[in-house]
Structure 1
Amino acid sequence: MRLMISWCSCLVIFCLLQASHRTSGVAYNITPSEPLFPNQTLVSSGNIFELGFFTLSGSENQYIGIRYKNLTPSKIVWVANREQPLPYTDRSAKLTIGSDGNLKLMDGQENIVWSTNVSSRSNYTLAVLLDSGNFVLQDGIYGEIWGSFEDPTDTLLPTMKIGVNVRTGVKKFLISWRSDSDPFPGSFSTGMTSETPPQAFTWNGLTPYWRGGQWDKSKFIGIATMDQSYSSGFTVQQDTQKGTTYYSVNRYDIFLYMFISPGGSLTIMYWDDGARAWLMDWAAPNNTCEIYGTCGPFGVCNSLNSPICRCIDGFVPKSNEEWNSLNWTRGCEREMELNCQKNTSTSTYTNVKKDAFWQMSQMKLPDSGNYISDIGDEEECESWCRSNCSCLAYSYVSTIGCMVWSKDLIDLQEFPTAGEDLFVRVAHVKAGGSRHKAVIISLSTIAGIIFFAVFVFVLCKWRANKTGNFRRLLDSADTPEKSTELTQGNAWQKQLKQDDSLELTLYSFDSILLATNKFSTTSKLGQGGFGSVYKGKLKDGKEVAVKRLSSTSAQGVEEFKNEIILISKLQHRNLVKLVGYCIEGEEKILVYEYLSNKSLDTFLFDSRKKAELDWGKRFQIIQEIARGLLYLHRDSCLRVIHRDLKVSNILLDEKMNPKISDFGLARMFEGTQVLVNTQKIVGTL
């Protein structure tokens, strides 16, 4: 009797616990007598997933669905009534099991909104939510008779399969939501093709949007990140006898899912426990090249190139105008007809040169290929394609076998790594012609280099002759009998005018006085060892810098002439430009281009201005000065050594570009000369 009372007590306690669960809103199964209401959730045994009624933000509809439990944000992975929502005000709706053993979603008026609609041979069925996320309907005799994994929405969970059965015609695809707040079926779907080898696709309606490429028994060829070290557990199962092809995630990391977004992005997410957030592991398409057929037929896409599309060698754009406007969808066409096509109506093909095959490496293989099952190696594959004129390309992948293409090559992509070799048929003359073209280009380049070298040699000789005239001018000016004449300026000025190599303007002293406001202190820019520098404005409005040599200047006639000769002969963006000169009586004046930011020292040694020169700008100035010196030391025919380079002789234009100035102490070398003697005490370089 005591035993009977004890057993009855346990039964009462168990029933009370079950009732407590129901009233508290948590259930672990659904039975004909225990439906699920809007204030309740069905929870998996490990508290990983929960099923219940939900309403999305901004929506007036109510749905029944599955989501991760205790994870924020919680991802909804399955929706039962995505096409027939309930009004969110219907609090009398319920999910129950009908008399026929099917799960049924009933509205408050007892109308059937959604049902599993399967046959059951048992009078009693039970619905439970598994820790895999699969919501299953079981009967007491046959076990599971329906599962939500058989009716996917937009999300693929581990151990779940999507694919196609060609015998039954059943397709299990992921179908996107219409929007983030509306689970109604959208325009994008993801699934597998039944061909051999199978391919993963995303479609926009009936149009391909993204293609993962052929499955090679370990990875999809068209997904470059699936290299040899790939170990995520994604697998494809193809049974040709049953006519089935399925794609699944055989990982028991349950906190991972793949879904197709309303915008067509196929994305893999995983839960990072440290960050307490869902993080993206992979998404496709990831760039324009991954969108199906971006470059059109016979076009190749490479996301690292600019522009990203090019034609296969031996092909040209169908429309140059569209191609140049970056519209590549029409693709490319053959530049030259195949030899085998020219002779298809005759038997003379064996007597002409065979077509050749271009090898393209690291490729995402094109769509619409055919698998040739009875070929054992790459040589046989090539032979088969070569002997069939309809074969436009072939590829032999060791884990797949021989694949050939007889249609337009579409959705080609070139990878920096990974990918496979593709061999494309081209006319023999084109294949040989390209090598011939390379020879022509090489010979033309060599001839061009020789011509340029001869031109530079002649130019240097001509300039050397002109420079020799100036050297004779300098030598004559240094003799005592010429010094008086130079002082007056007449003879030297006359010689300068007669030399047509000087593209300089000879200014009158009066024009200089007018430009500098009679060398007023307000026009003065600075004072140097050889004289003063003034800002001037010529009659044409051009601003110039006027360097007036002092009568007591250490820079003598030789230095003055040096500066005119050198600066007039040297042309470089980092050398100051000489505009003209003036020689009248004792006056020796040089007229330069005006540089608004003056000299570099005004910035470096000014506590306020030096802040304008960050390290990036300073490094740029150093580079520009080095380019100017390289020109003087190596690239100029005159080969000039400045000998007085300092920050006060580096001038800056309005964009802070530096220019080397003050060539009074510079020396010219002969082409092969490496050493000269001087009695002058000078600065650097």
Structure 2
Amino acid sequence: MESFVILVLMCSSLSIFTMSQGVANTISATQPFKDGESLVSSGGTFEFGFFSPGNSMKRYVGIWYKNVAYKTVVWVANRDVPLIDLSGVLQLSGQGDLSILDNANTTIWSSNSSKPETTSPVAQLLDTGNLVVRNQDDNEPEKYLWQSFDYPGDTLLPGMKYGVNLVTGLNRALTSWKSGDDPSRGDYTNQLDVNGVPQFFLRRGSVLTFRSGPWNGETFNGMPNSAENDIYTFEFVFNEEEIYYTYKLSRSTVSRLVMTSDGKLQTFTWLDRIKDWNNYSTAPMDACDSYAKCGPYGTCNSDNSPACGCLDGFVPRSSEDWYSSDWSHGCMRKTQLTCEYGEGFRKYSNIKLPDTSLSWYGKNMNLNDCEQLCLKNCSCKAYAILDITRKSGCILWFKELIDMRQYSDSGQDIYIRLAASDLAASYRSSQGKRLIRSIVIPVLSLGVALLGLYVSWQVFKKQMQLPPRRTEVNVVHSREQDFINENWNKNLDLPLFGFDVIAEATDNFSVANELGQGGFGPVYKGKLKDGQEIAVKRLSKNSRQGLEEFKNEVFCIAKLQHRNLVRLLGCSIEAEERMLIYEYMPNKSLNFFIFDEKQSILLDWPKRFHIINGVARGLLYLHEDSRLRIVHRDLKASNVLLDYGMNPKISDFGMARGFGGDETEANTKRVVGTYGYMSPEYMLDGIFSLKSDVFSFGVLVLEILSGKRNRGFNNPDHKLNLLGHAWMLHNEGRPSELIDESFENSGHRSQALRSIHVALLCVQNNPEDRPSMSTAVLMLSSEIAMPQPKEPGFFTERFDVSSSSLKREKSSSINGLTVTLLEAR
């Protein structure tokens, strides 16, 4: 009997011990966490450990719901670098770093959360689903050393901050899984854009597919189904330090928002009654949520057929395309604005506000102030209220209004500028409608109704027969008129501008309007009659570039649309003139800032990192997402232009080349580019590929980080160029010495050091060692493990060049001018 009691006590003790192990929610620095072990949050809501998704045999470390009927994963640590067996181990270092090690004891993922003030760190799984690293005796969220909520995967949980920390530069975004069996980064991302009035952009790769619209005080203007209800309450924080969205549950409900692998933002709630997830809301909702479906000044209404229509006061830009259901060109004003007396604003209601990324806003204004401010600026196209709950704030638009839709019972009011004649016509039309509603309709007979239908049919037929009205800028679509002057056989959807129009816009190419000189020729600032500012690139008769470069630039980028590529608005080929017309970039080029001691102060680290990422995304689009894989071949600081919001845009495609089919590289006897940016294989052997641009990107990143040019770089301790200097500092464990003094103490040291590492990987001598731009973008934006870089190409200023013609070109290109005629060895 006594032995039986002892046995029972031992079993009870073992059971208690097992239970206590099962409900543990922390890991200490002395406690390796192995595959098969798990943490459970204090309330039993979430579990943390190793798992295999779907039918996959690969192992990941993540967090999932503990009490739902089947495993629903909400966060994955090593999503892009899986383990291949059950030997994985998670460790917490004494400095607060979480690391995952494989069977070779190699670190495949790390939180990079080391802090010098760390004492007795622990990792804890909270009942919110947040895995945090903190000091053992410090539970204050503000003092967490690291938290998984800052690095979401495809899931947003209640209490998470979804947006940007403007102080640290952290941007919390959602990225889809590739599939239910593969949690690695898929095609879709949803991220807050803080340019203009903040809004979320959903992208497939680099292509914008959906826009949430701005926060209006109640909800996101383009997501009316996300308004507060009896389940959720929302908050949008918008101040100088942070811009983010968060939500919490109003009652005891299990809920999550997911970026699905097919590009949907879906909110799910768990229904215990049916033991399954219920889809509460989805965005995009329908075809009208497709970004810019109806083009500029067009509106989409899912209740109409066809869905696209022009606002009152506007007509289709191309009637032929419009009535063929190609709405991408959108609409244009019936009467162009001239900034003369009588212009005013027409109110349009229940509208999804147009893209606000290029808008201006003021928080402390009323609607009347907003109207007066817009009216005084001839470039102002429209205005709207910022916060509909407080009836305060102001949004102004200065560019084309794009991505609007019409709702039946939601949306907002927007006030759009119209010419005096169109405003009067609109007023008469509204008065007539009011009269019809109040008097005429009650007494109309069936015959009158039929007569009205007959008249409407006749008007419609006449409209169908009318040619599209030409605007004051004398624009002709090239698919209607081939470029006959040069026997160009390709048709482009690109406007042609008359020489007189451009001469008038630039004040007859006044010296006062000259923005600078390039290899192509002079560049002028201009302003069209409708108030749009432009940059005009005029082919010089003495230019080292010629008609081929002109044609190449037109054909390469005429249809490219990306926020980080400069937009080609049209061209002019009258008589012997060759001109390219671009959107105007007010902040000039990147080299104006980073290489100037005074101007460089204006570029803090968040701006520089934003520029680096923007250039990377632009190159990624050229290399992988454009209709042709395009090699730029002349990426450099002076070819990165900056708009009003300091957003980078890659320019100058005269040297670009496209790859089709399975092409990956090409050979040329005509080497073009700029010394200091050209890759070794291209400069010496004439071989160029996508990896040539990667090399140039790496050089550019090092220049942005250091504020120094690669060519002409000097250091009293050696004769290396910037690449060699960066390589030397990396090998000696002193990479931080490369960072520009103006922001080295800005609190972004780890981000800057990671950027240096990525840059050194990009400038490796062997093209095969360099990462693709998709990998470079991933390394810049995440904490994935990176290989050690190998020796860079051209890391000294000693060139072994025997050709005298090459030496002459070299000496003439010290200031960054493009080299266009180099015979490769």
TM-score (norm 2): 0.48
Match of 1:427 among 419, 433, 443: 419
Find the counterpart in structure 1 of residue 346 from structure 2.
358
Q: Say whether residues 1:38 and 2:18 are aligned partners.
A: no
Q: Would the alpha carbon gap of residues 188 and 439 (structure 1) be closer, same or farther in structure 2, given more than 3 Å must change?
A: closer
- The Cα shift of 1:200 comes to 2.9
Conservation of the 8 A alpha-carbon contact between 1:394 and 1:422: yes
Q: Which amino acid aligns with 1:178?
A: K
Q: How does 1:268-667 map to 2 (within 5 A)?
A: 268-340=267-339, 349=340, 353-368=341-356, 370-373=359-362, 376-396=365-385, 397-398=387-388, 399=390, 400-433=392-425
| Alpha carbons 2:308, 2:327 under 8 Å: kept | yes
Change (3 A) 1:36 1:27: farther
The whole-number CA distance in structure 2 between the counterparts of 1:182 and 1:229 is 34
Q: CA deviation at 1:123?
A: 5.2
Please give the alpha-carbon distance, in whole angstroms, between the structure 1 residues aligned to 2:218 and 2:424: 38
The answer (yes or no) to whether the contact 1:122–1:141 under 8 Å persists in 2 is no
Q: How far apart, in 1, do the equivalents of 2:320 and 2:218 lie?
A: 42
Q: CA deviation at 1:434?
A: 5.2
- The corresponding residue for 1:78 is 75
Report the alpha carbon displacement of residue 226 of structure 1 after superposing the two structures with TM. Answer: 4.6
1:126 aligns with 2:144: no
> How far apart are the structure 2 equivalents of 1:28 and 1:432?
70
- 1:129 and 1:190 map into 2 onto residues whose CA distance is 26
Which residue of 1 is the match for residue 185 of structure 2?
185
Question: In the alignment, residue 380 of structure 2 is paired with which amino acid?
Answer: C
What CA deviation, in whole Å up to 9, does each residue of 1:407-430 have, x standing for no partner?
110111111102211111122112
TM-aligned CA distance change 1:29 to 1:21, over 3 Å? farther
Q: How far apart are the structure 2 equivalents of 1:375 and 1:321?
A: 45
For the residue of structure 2 that corresponds to 1:381, the secondary structure is helix
> Per-residue displacement from partner, 1:428-477 (whole Å, max 9, x unpaired)?
1123345678999999xx9x979x99xxxxxxxxxxxxxxxxxxxxxxxx
What is the CA deviation profile of residues 70-128 of structure 1, one whole-angstrom value per residue up to 9, with x for unaligned ones?
312331000000011011xx222111223544222111221112122212434532222
- For residues 52-71 of structure 1, what are the alpha-carbon distances to aligned partners after superposition, in whole Å with 9 as ceiling and x for unaligned? 11112332421111100131
Structure 1 residues 421 and 69 mapped into 2: Cα distance closer, same or farther (>3 Å)? same
1:28 is aligned to 2:25? yes
Question: Considering only CA atoms, is the larger Rg found in Structure 1 or Structure 2?
Answer: 1
Deviation at 1:215, TM superposition (A): 1.2
Partner SS state of residue 203, structure 1:
strand
Give the whole-Å Cα distance in 2 for the aligned partners of 1:374 and 1:78: 36
| Separation of aligned partners in 2, 1:229 and 1:107 | 46
Moved more, 302-311 or 51-60: 51-60
Which residue of the partner structure matches residue 802 of structure 2? none
| Cα-to-partner distance string for 1:579-634 (whole Å, 9 max, x where unaligned) | xxxxxxxxxxxxxxxxxxxxxxxxxxxxxxxxxxxxxxxxxxxxxxxxxxxxxxxx
> Partner residue of 1:61?
58
Q: Is the 8 A contact 1:36 1:42 kept in 2?
A: no
Query: Partners of 2:38 and 2:429 in 1: how far apart?
Result: 74
For residue 275 of structure 1, what is the amino acid of its counterpart? I
Residue in structure 2 matched with residue 160 of structure 1 by the alignment: 160
The question of whether the paired residues in 2 share the 8 Å contact of 1:315 and 1:335 is answered with: yes
Maintained 8 Å contact 1:132/1:254: no
Which residue identity lines up with residue 62 of structure 2 in the other structure? G
Q: Which residue of structure 2 lines up, in the alignment, with residue 219 of structure 1? A: 219
Aligned-pair distance for 1:150?
1.6
Distance 1:250 1:104, change over 3 A: same
Instruction: Calculate percent identity across the aligned residue pairs.
Output: 35
Q: Structure 1 residues 49 and 436 mapped into 2: Cα distance closer, same or farther (>3 Å)? A: closer
1:249–1:449 distance in 2 versus 1, CA, 3 Å:
closer
Q: Which has the higher contact order (CA 8 A, sep 6+)?
A: 2
Question: Is the alpha carbon distance of 1:176 and 1:70 closer, same or farther for their aligned partners in structure 2, counting shifts above 3 Å?
Answer: same
- State the distance in 1 between where 2:135 and 2:16 align: 21
Distance 1:142 1:26 in 2: 21
Preserved contact between residue 371 and residue 401 of structure 1 (Cα < 8 Å): no
- Is the alpha carbon distance of 1:151 and 1:274 closer, same or farther for their aligned partners in structure 2, counting shifts above 3 Å? same
Deviation of 1:25 (Å): 6.4
- What is aligned with 1:536? none
Q: TM-score, normalised by structure 1?
A: 0.57
Q: CA deviation at 1:194?
A: 2.7
What residue is the counterpart of 1:586 in the other structure?
Answer: none
SS at structure 1 position matched to 2:371: helix
Report the CA distance shift for 1:407/1:64 in structure 2 as closer, same or farther (over 3 A). same
Structure 1 residues 288 and 91, CA gap change in structure 2 (3 angstroms): same
Change (3 A) 1:438 1:384: closer
| Distance of 2:338 and 2:137 partners within structure 1 | 68
- 3-state secondary structure, aligned to 1:432: helix
Structure 1 unmatched ranges of 5 or more: 1-11, 341-348, 454-685
What is the rounded CA distance, in whole Å, between the counterparts of 2:364 and 2:97 in structure 1? 51
Residue identity matched to 1:336: T
Quick one: distance in 2 between partners of 1:266 and 1:157? 13
Quick one: distance in 2 between partners of 1:36 and 1:280? Answer: 35
C-alpha distance 45-388 of structure 1, shift in aligned 2 (>3 A):
same
User: Alpha carbons of 1:30 and 1:439: their partners in 2 closer, same or farther (altered >3 Å)?
Assistant: closer
Give the match's secondary structure for 2:224: coil
Taking the aligned partners of 1:46 and 1:164, their CA distance within structure 2 comes to: 30
Residue by residue over 1:464-499, the C-alpha shift from the partner in whole angstroms, topping out at 9 and shown as x without a partner, is xxxxxxxxxxxxxxxxxxxxxxxxxxxxxxxxxxxx
Q: 1:261 to 1:229 in 2, by over 3 A?
A: closer
Q: Give yes or no for the alignment of 1:92 onto 2:92.
A: no
Distance (Å, rounded) in 2 between the aligned partners of 1:375 and 1:116 = 41
SS in 1 for 2:31: coil
Report the equivalent of 2:249: 251
Partner of 1:234: 234
Q: Which residue of 2 aligns with 1:108?
A: 103
Paired letter, 1:130? L
Kindly state the Cα deviation for residue 276 of structure 1 after the two structures are TM-superposed: 2.0
Q: Is the 8 A contact 1:158 1:254 kept in 2?
A: no
Letter in 2 for 1:213: G
| Aligned-partner residue type, residue 167 of structure 1 | V
**1:205 match:** 205
Deviation at 1:20?
A: 3.0
Contact 1:197 1:216 in 2 (8 A): no
Unaligned runs of 5+ in 2: 1-9, 452-825
Q: Is the Cα–Cα contact under 8 Å of residues 366 and 410 in structure 1 kept in the other structure?
A: yes
The whole-number CA distance in structure 2 between the counterparts of 1:228 and 1:276 is 25
Structure 2 letter corresponding to 1:377: N
For residue 51 of structure 1, what is the aligned residue in structure 2? 48
Matched residues in 2 for 1:359 and 1:335: separation?
A: 17
> In angstroms, what is the RMSD of aligned CA positions?
3.4
